[in-house]
Amino acid sequence: MMITRQHIVTWLERCAVLLEEKRAYLSELDSPIGDADHGINMARGFSKVVEKLPSVADTDIGNILKTSGMVLLSSVGGASGPLYGTFFMRAGGALQAKQELDSSDLLRLLEAGIQGVVQRGRAEVGEKTMLDALVPAFDALKARVEQEDDLITALQAALAGAEHGVELTIPLVAKKGRASYLGERSIGHPDPGAASVTLLLSALLDVVKSSSRAE
């Protein structure tokens, strides 16, 4: 199956719902090693994206993602704003004029987004950041796509990769952002940014699953 423009719109709406539901959970994760606002900031940012969606829903996927990135950039704040904003803006840039995405397009979405996050944040895997969920998700998705598995199977593998990546952040010492000032005291806590990545992926899986049932 293909991911349509409508799927992307529904995905972003689903992200907003899920982030609102998990707002307190994400902020709690951010409490011991950050400043307890990750859930509040992400929920606010995606609610602004949803407000903006009607004005771009009829364009193309690249434009929808790029516009969403710009909204996140100006509404999330903190470090997550530029990082998520850059992710969506770069992902959109890689998918200009696309009306639907096949699995290789989905790989490009993630790859371009990840490259943007790496450039903006100058982080690498293992530093207790959102990359610790994004990169294993991409690797798992790529392996499944190369085996020509169906989209749902591939996305399930991506989500599992991201969730495993979040668990792997628990014993890590943070080297980026405010958490880095805690040094060894950051051990024992998962990274909130990595956790929010899994929510966005699970929202995408939800949308694709429910659409395939409808078919």
Partner 1 sequence: MKKLINAVDHVITEQLEGMALAHPELKISLDPKYIARADAPLTDKVAVISGGGSGHEPMHGGFVGVGMLAAACPGEVFTSPTPDQMYAAAHAVAGTAGVLFVVKNYTGDVLNFETAAEMVHDDGIKVQNVLVDDDVAVKDSLYTAGRRGVGTTVILEKVVGAAAEAGYDLDQCAELARRVNSYGRSLGMALTSCTVPAVGKPTFTLGADEIEIGIGIHGEPGQYRTTMKTADEITTTLVNAILDDGEYRRMLREWDRGNAMWIEREVIDTPLVAGDEVIALVNSMGGTPQSELYAVYRKLAALCQSRGIRILRSLVGAYITSLEMQGVSITLVKTDSEILSMWDAPVKTPALRWGF
Q: Residues interacting with partner 1, by CB under 8 A? A: 35-37, 40-41, 73-79, 81-83, 85-86, 120-121, 173, 175-178, 180-183, 185
Nearest approach, Cβ of 84 to partner 1 (angstroms)? 11
Q: Whose CA is closest to 161, among 210, 192, 202, 121?
A: 202
Q: Which residues pair with 101 in a beta bridge?
A: 3
CA 66-68-73 angle, to 5 degrees, is 95
Nearest approach, Cβ of 175 to partner 1 (angstroms)? 5
Nearest approach, Cβ of 16 to partner 1 (angstroms)? 18
CA distance linking residue 37 with residue 44, whole number of Å: 11
Q: CB-wise, 35 or 58, nearer to partner 1?
A: 35
Taking a C-beta distance cutoff of 8 angstroms, is the pair 52, 68 a contact? yes
Nearest approach, Cβ of 213 to partner 1 (angstroms)? 39
Q: CB-wise, 68 or 156, nearer to partner 1?
A: 68
